[in-house]
Chain A
Amino acid sequence: MLSLAHVHVYHGPIHALRGVDLSVEMGEIVTLIGANGAGKSTLLMSICGAPRAGRGRVLWDGEDITDLPSFEIIRRGIAQVPEGRRIFSRMSVLENLLVGATPLEDGQREEDLQRVFALFPTLKDRQHQRGGTLSGGEQQMLAIGRALMGRPRLLLLDEPSLGLAPRLVQRIFEIIEAINREQNVTVFLVEQNAYHALRLAHRGYVMANGRIVLAGESKALLANREVRAAYLEGGV
Chain B
Amino acid sequence: MSFSHRPINPADLFKDAALAALMALILALPLIGFRSVAEGGQLALTTRFDWVGIGVAGVFLGRLVLVYASSFWPPSGANFALAEAVREGMSRYVMALAGMGLLLALLLPFLPFSSRYVIDVATGLLIYIMLGWGLNIVVGLAGLLDLGYVAFYAMGAYSYALLALQFDLSFWICLPLAGLFAGLLGIVLGFPVLRLRGDYLAIVTLGFGEIIRIILLNWYEITGGPDGLSGIPRPSFFGLPFKPTTGEHEISAFHQAFGLEFSGLHRVIFLYYLILCLALITNFFTLRLRKLPLGRAWEALREDEIASRSLGINPRNTKLTAFGIGATFGGLAGAFFATRQGFISPESFTFVESATILAIVVLGGMGSQIGVVVAAALLILLPEFGRELEEFRMLVFGAAMVLIMAWRPRGLLANREPTLRLHRRDRRGGEPR
Q: B residues within 8 A CB of A211?
A: none
Chain B residue at smallest Cβ distance from A129: B419
Q: Please, what's the 1-or-0 string for B414-426, where 1 marks a CB less than 8 Å from any CB in chain A?
A: 0110111000100
- Alpha-carbon separation in the docked complex, A70 to B309 (Å): 6
8 Å CB interface, B306-328 against A: 306-314
A52 shortest CB reach to chain B, Å: 12
Q: Is A71's CB under 8 angstroms from B418's CB?
A: no
A40 shortest CB reach to chain B, Å: 15
Q: Is A86's CB under 8 angstroms from B306's CB?
A: yes
Q: Is A88's CB under 8 angstroms from B303's CB?
A: yes
- Alpha-carbon separation in the docked complex, A101 to B300 (Å): 12
A218 within 8 A of B: no
8 Å CB interface, A104-154 against B: 128-130, 132-133, 146-147, 150
Known: A130-B419, A132-B432. A98 touches B293 (CB 8 A): yes
B171 shortest CB reach to chain A, Å: 39
Q: Is B419's CB under 8 angstroms from A128's CB?
A: yes
Q: Is B307's CB under 8 angstroms from A82's CB?
A: yes
Q: A residues within 8 A CB of B424?
A: 133
Determine, out of A10-18, A28-36, A89-97, A180-188, the stretch whose residues face the partner at the interface. Answer: A89-97
B428 within 8 A of A: yes
Q: Is A75's CB under 8 angstroms from B312's CB?
A: yes
A168 within 8 A of B: no
One of A79, A102, A128 near B313 (C-beta < 8 A): A102
B88 shortest CB reach to chain A, Å: 13
Q: Is A133's CB under 8 angstroms from B299's CB?
A: no
Q: What total of chain B residues lie within 8 Å of the partner, measured CB to CB?
A: 25
B297 within 8 A of A: yes
Chain B residue at smallest Cβ distance from A107: B293
Chain A residue at smallest Cβ distance from B300: A99
Q: Is A130's CB under 8 angstroms from B418's CB?
A: yes
Q: Is A71's CB under 8 angstroms from B312's CB?
A: yes
Q: Is B416's CB under 8 angstroms from A71's CB?
A: no
- Alpha-carbon separation in the docked complex, A146 to B432 (Å): 20
Q: Is B303's CB under 8 angstroms from A89's CB?
A: yes
A142 shortest CB reach to chain B, Å: 11
B6 within 8 A of A: no
Known: A91-B296, A91-B303, A132-B433. A150 touches B311 (CB 8 A): yes
Q: A residues within 8 A CB of B311?
A: 74, 79, 99-100, 102-103, 146-147, 150
Q: Which residue, of B306, B307, B313, has the highest number of chain A Cβ atoms within 10 A?
A: B307
The tally of CB-CB contacts under 8 A between chains A and B is 91
B304 within 8 A of A: yes
Q: Is A74's CB under 8 angstroms from B299's CB?
A: no
Q: A residues within 8 A CB of B306?
A: 50, 82, 86
- Alpha-carbon separation in the docked complex, A74 to B293 (Å): 16
A90 shortest CB reach to chain B, Å: 6
A53 within 8 A of B: no
8 Å CB interface, B388-433 against A: 415-416, 418-420, 424, 428, 432-433
Q: A residues within 8 A CB of B297?
A: 99, 102
Q: Is B303's CB under 8 angstroms from A133's CB?
A: no
Q: Is A98's CB under 8 angstroms from B314's CB?
A: no
One of B310, B313, B433 near A89 (C-beta < 8 A): B433
Q: B residues within 8 A CB of A100?
A: 311
- Alpha-carbon separation in the docked complex, A181 to B401 (Å): 58
A201 within 8 A of B: no
Q: Is B313's CB under 8 angstroms from A99's CB?
A: yes
One of A50, A71, A90, A133 near B314 (C-beta < 8 A): A71
A9 shortest CB reach to chain B, Å: 16
A72 shortest CB reach to chain B, Å: 9
Q: Is A50's CB under 8 angstroms from B296's CB?
A: no
- Alpha-carbon separation in the docked complex, A50 to B297 (Å): 19
Q: Please, what's the 1-or-0 string for A20-51, where 1 marks a CB less than 8 Å from any CB in chain B?
A: 00000000000000000000000001001010
B294 shortest CB reach to chain A, Å: 10
Q: Is B304's CB under 8 angstroms from A88's CB?
A: yes
**17 A-B pairs whose Cβ atoms sit less than 8 Å apart in the complex:** A50-B306, A71-B309, A74-B311, A74-B312, A82-B307, A90-B303, A91-B300, A95-B299, A98-B293, A98-B296, A99-B311, A102-B311, A130-B418, A130-B432, A133-B428, A150-B311, A150-B312
Q: A87-B307, A102-B293, A103-B312 provided; 8 other pairs, C-beta below 8 A?
A: A71-B313, A90-B303, A99-B308, A102-B297, A132-B428, A132-B432, A133-B432, A150-B311
**Closest 8 pairs between A and B when the two form their complex, measured CB to CB:** A74-B312, A86-B307, A103-B312, A88-B303, A80-B310, A71-B314, A132-B432, A129-B419
